[in-house]
Amino acid sequence: MEPSKAIECYEQAAAVLPSRLRRAALAESREHRAMAEEFRLRTGYPMTLLLPEGEYATGVSVEPGDLEALCNQATEFSRYAAMETLRRGYLSIRGGGRVGLCGSAVMKEGECANIRDFSSASIRIAREKRGVGEDVVPQLFREGQFRSTLILSPPGGGKTTLLRDLIRCLSEGGGERPGLRISLADERGEVAVLWQGEPQMDVGPRTDVLDGCPKAAAIPMLLRAMNPQVIAVDEITVREDIRAMTMAANCGVGLLATIHAASVEELTRKPLYTELLAAGVFSLAVVIRREDGGARRYQVEELPC
């Protein structure tokens, strides 16, 4: 990503900070603004920037009330519009960033209904890296057919960034490979980043986006309504998502999804995903590994059936 674009993303994420912290964030060096991956705010401690080499403390402390102001700015003073995600501990912000929140959970009938008295927050800066998936895409085809693929990495490894670029490449097509009709179930709104119906990130010309809808509900809707060749989703985390994806696979639709796992081996050890692997829904995995120096390497592997 060009430094100017990276700085633009940084500034967009900084826009949700309370004014005092925003001023400090914008006063950071150009290098920090281009490289920062997250802002981290903990009440009573200095705000930090997450850089590839680790957390860097700015000189400004986070005071009680700053996190409430952050929540107001992030939801555009509309918590009612963000309640579904807020009770799951995060908020999607304009530009594709995500605010993760910690505090006191308000429980109702065994489920978290809200979070109050925020204690810390992380603001993930959205990064669009066009082209990261271009070398990977040809490896996802066998005999000219797209194979359902999982993208694996630990949290913060760049799964969403790769997913977005793979969607764009598949949607655009290239060489003798025709563009595919992709339906994207963008539950958190982080992949396409719809703003008044228009994707803010490039997801290709043949991509239909349904955002804000839980994946388990979105997949059948997309199947019925959009006649996709490939359905893409970000972060499979619950059994309902797996069931919906199995159903879609049985309808002959290709799947592209991300999962938190450092390797195929780790994936096979997780009970939730054994059902998915046993059903043979996915045949390939792209494993994201970080090399020394922070560069990412993408390795395509066959999944065990």
Q: What mask, x for binding another protein by CB under 8 A, covers residues 120 to 159?
A: ----------------------------------------
Q: 56: which 2 tokens?
A: 């860097």
Q: Residue 158 is encoded by which pair of tokens?
A: 């760049």
Q: Which helix (H) or strand (E) holds 301?
A: strand 296-302
Q: What pairs with residue 291 in β-bridges?
A: none
CB 277 within 8 A of CB 267: yes
Of the candidates 57, 81, 107, 278, which one interacts with another protein according to CB under 8 A? 81
The whole-angstrom separation of Cα 118 and Cα 70 is 10
Least separation in angstroms between residue 80's CB and another protein is 4
Which one of 3, 65, 77, 174 is in contact with another protein (CB under 8 A)?
77
**In terms of Cα–Cα distance, which of 71, 55, 60, 74 is closest to 15?**
74
- Count the site residues for another protein by CB under 8 A: 14
Using CB under 8 A as the binding rule, whether residue 75 contacts another protein is answered as: yes
Report whether 12 contacts 94 (CB < 8 A): yes
Q: Is 299 in the site for another protein (CB under 8 A)?
A: no
Contact pick of 63, 76, 275, 302 for another protein (by CB under 8 A): 76
Whether the Cβ atoms of residue 216 and residue 240 lie closer than 8 Å to each other? yes
The answer to whether residue 274 forms part of the interface with another protein (CB under 8 A) is no
Q: Kindly tell me which of 45 and 77 has the beta carbon lying closer to another protein.
A: 77
Residues 88-127 interacting with another protein (rule: CB under 8 A): 114
State the minimum distance, in angstroms, from the CB of residue 121 to another protein. 17
CA 30 – CA 79 distance, rounded (Å): 33
Residue 189 beta carbon to another protein: minimum distance, rounded to whole angstroms: 12
Q: Is 19 a binder of another protein (CB under 8 A)?
A: yes
* Residue 78 is a binding residue for another protein (CB under 8 A): yes
Interface with another protein includes 27 (CB under 8 A)?
A: no
The residue within the footprint of another protein, chosen from 53, 80, 198, 297 (CB under 8 A), is: 80
Closer to another protein at the Cβ: 73 or 161? 73
3-class secondary structure per residue, 208-240 = EEEECCCHHHHHHHHHHHHCCCEEEECCCCCHH
First to last CA, the chain: 37
Q: What is the rounded CA–CA span in Å between residue 229 and residue 223?
A: 9
Which parts of this chain interact with another protein (CB under 8 A)? 15, 19, 69, 72-73, 75-81, 83, 114
